[in-house]
Amino acid sequence: MQTHSFRIVLHGVPDDEDAYLDIAEALFGGGCDDSLLSSCEGVASITFDREAESYDEAVASAIANIQAAAGSLGVTVGDVLPEDPV
């Protein structure tokens, strides 16, 4: 297994702090405990360091977790961006 780092842009994340916290809690409890939810200038994204056999498998499992955990809260998946090494 390798650790794959990437960021997924999320749509439907409200600016309301309580709703944001509800989404963060749902994501963490729904299998996204290897990620960090953040928002900058109104754009929400979730950054993953996910272990998987391949990059594609890591991204697919992350998207499935997001949809299952926060889809009912109105969150949808946008672009997937690879993280640049620092």
pLDDT digits (tens, 9 = 90+) for 1-16: 999 999 999 999 988 8
**Residue 58's pLDDT band (cuts 50, 70, 90):** very high
What are the contacts of 40-45 at 24+ separation with CB within 8 A?
A: 42/15, 43/9, 44/9, 44/10, 44/11, 44/13, 44/20, 45/7, 45/8, 45/9, 45/10, 45/81
Query: Could you tell me the pTM of the whole model?
Result: 0.90
Domains plus CATH for the chain? 2-82 (3.30.70.600)
